[in-house]
């Protein structure tokens, strides 16, 4: 099992095409592309932490359909655009506003919002966040896991941490 991170999919939300200039002609095309890219990266046995803003302007049946089509065991860290329909969807393994994980010797703080400071920051803990759509200047040990920063797909911690070592120019 591999653990993946993502954020700000905004399924069903036409604003992302205009505001974030996502390269899709329509929301149906956007949603299908994100589903395909998710499932190309994530297997059914993997785990995915979605750091908020899963879907907007989508009815509960569509949210359940989307979650059912996406591979992996899915956890939601709530975002500002996650309404009651998203929070109560049956396919989430867990739903919370904040989480701390320990993966491959790394301690992680997960929240939809980027922190200026976070728990055990001085002890090497890493902050993973969404919300900023790849537009924030990165801080040391802070990473935007949103789809806008990662070619519209979930990413592993290894990929995230390797991005700065390789001089990746994205905000990730």
CATH of the domain at 129: 3.60.21.10
Which residues contact residue 31 at a Cβ distance below 8 angstroms, ignoring those fewer than 6 apart?
Answer: 11, 12, 66
Q: Is 171's pLDDT higher than 60?
A: no
148-166 per-position pLDDT tens digit: 999 999 999 999 999 865 4
Residue 116 lies in a domain: yes
Tell me how far apart the alpha carbons of residues 139 and 93 are, in angstroms, rounded to a whole number. Answer: 30
Residue 44 lies in a domain: yes
- Please tell me the total count of domains within the chain: 1
Residue whose C-alpha is closest to residue 157's, from 110, 87, 98: 110
CB 172 within 8 A of CB 137: no
CB 110 within 8 A of CB 100: yes
pTM for this prediction: 0.93
The torsion region of residue 94 among left (phi > 0), alpha (psi -120 to 50) and beta comes to beta
Where in the sequence is the domain holding 102, given as residue range(s)?
3-165
87-127 per-position pLDDT tens digit: 999 999 999 999 999 999 999 999 999 999 999 999 999 99
């Amino acid at each position: 099992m591999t653990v993946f991170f993502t954020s700000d999919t905004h399924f069903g939300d036409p604003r992302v095409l205009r505001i974030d200039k996502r390269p899709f002609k329509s929301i149906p095309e956007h949603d299908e592309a994100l589903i395909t890219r998710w499932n190309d990266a994530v297997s059914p046995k993997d785990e995915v932490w979605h750091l908020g803003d899963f879907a907007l302007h989508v009815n509960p049946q569509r949210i359940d359909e989307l979650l059912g089509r996406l591979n992996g065991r899915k956890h939601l860290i709530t975002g500002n655009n996650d309404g009651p329909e998203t929070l109560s969807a049956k396919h989430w393994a867990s739903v919370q506003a904040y989480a701390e994980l320990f993966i491959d010797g790394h301690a992680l703080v997960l929240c939809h919002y980027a922190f200026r400071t976070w728990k055990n920051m001085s002890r090497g803990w890493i902050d993973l966040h969404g919300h900023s759509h790849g537009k924030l200047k990165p801080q040391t040990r802070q990473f935007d896991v949103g789809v806008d920063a990662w070619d519209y797909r979930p990413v592993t911690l290894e990929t995230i941490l390797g991005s700065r070592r390789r001089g990746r120019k994205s905000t990730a």
